[in-house]
């Protein structure tokens, strides 16, 4: 016993670094640093059984109708439109403040009604959602800059709420149509 204790040698720790490196490289390779990004939306709750939809209180001028067909073409307020014009169109509609008679009374009343076909591609749908979000973001940024002198996302929560109240993002999605008979 005593002799064995005396003979006990120090373990060579020289290869420790190698082992650690090996593990390090393994975790380096498997690490996914990607953060998930996306467009956040809130779905409307399911309507109650006997609830009758009452749209009559909303004046037609306060609804901006965006239709997308199965060929991914846009029809905005009854006229064909290219996707690149949608953002400016939506901005003009939201920020009209009752100037033009066919556009919204004020941003709080403005509703964007989006309807797509079952055959619409997801890519186009996201592009439209993106353009509409961009319209709201730009309006909010302008308002934030003029009122608080800072960009919307840099503002504290309470100030963001004031801006959000001024420009509420109202995007209503109608029940989809199935014109093209796509599944």
Partner 1 sequence: MSKFRRKSKGGSPAISTASLPDIVFMLLFFFMVTTVMRETTLFVDVLTPKATEIRKMEKKSLVSYIYIGSPVKRLQSSYGTKPRIQLNDAFAETADIQEFIVSERESHDEKEIPYMTVSIKADEQVKMGTVIDVKQELRKANALKINYSTRKGTY
Whole-angstrom distance, CA of residue 169 vs CA of residue 23:
49
Q: Does 99 contact partner 1 by CB under 8 A?
A: no
Q: Please give the backbone phi and psi of residue 148, each rounded to the nearest 5 degrees, phi first.
A: -115, -5
Q: Does 13 contact partner 1 by CB under 8 A?
A: yes
Selected binder of partner 1 within 4, 37, 146, 158 (CB under 8 A): 37
Q: Does 125 contact partner 1 by CB under 8 A?
A: yes
Q: Does 161 contact partner 1 by CB under 8 A?
A: no
Q: Does 157 contact partner 1 by CB under 8 A?
A: no
Q: Which two tokens stand for residue 18?
A: 């190698």
Q: Are 93 and 135 in contact (CB under 8 A)?
A: no
Closest by CA to 65, choosing from 105, 124, 136, 114, is 114
SS3 113: strand
Q: Does 130 contact partner 1 by CB under 8 A?
A: yes
Site residues, partner 1 (CB under 8 A)? 13, 16-17, 20-21, 23-24, 27-28, 30-33, 35-46, 116-123, 125-127, 129-130, 133-134, 137, 176, 178, 182-183
């Amino acid at each position: 016993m005593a002799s064995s204790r005396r003979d006990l040698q120090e373990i060579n720790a020289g290869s420790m670094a190698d082992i650690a490196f090996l593990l390090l490289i393994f975790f380096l390779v498997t690490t996914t640093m990607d953060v998930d990004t996306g467009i956040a939306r809130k779905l409307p709750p399911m309507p109650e059984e006997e609830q009758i939809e009452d749209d009559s209180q909303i004046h037609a001028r306060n609804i901006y109708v965006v239709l997308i067909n199965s060929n991914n073409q846009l029809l905005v307020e009854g006229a064909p439109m290219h996707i690149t014009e949608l953002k400016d169109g939506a901005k003009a509609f939201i920020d009209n403040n009752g100037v033009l008679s066919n556009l919204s009374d004020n941003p709080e009343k403005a509703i964007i009604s989006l309807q797509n076909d079952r055959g619409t591609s997801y890519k186009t749908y996201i592009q439209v959602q993106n353009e509409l979000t961009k319209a709201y973001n730009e309006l909010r940024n302008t308002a934030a800059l003029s009122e608080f002198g800072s960009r919307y996302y840099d503002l504290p929560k309470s100030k963001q709420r004031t801006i959000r109240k001024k420009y509420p993002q109202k995007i209503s999605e109608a029940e989809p149509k199935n014109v093209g008979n796509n599944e």
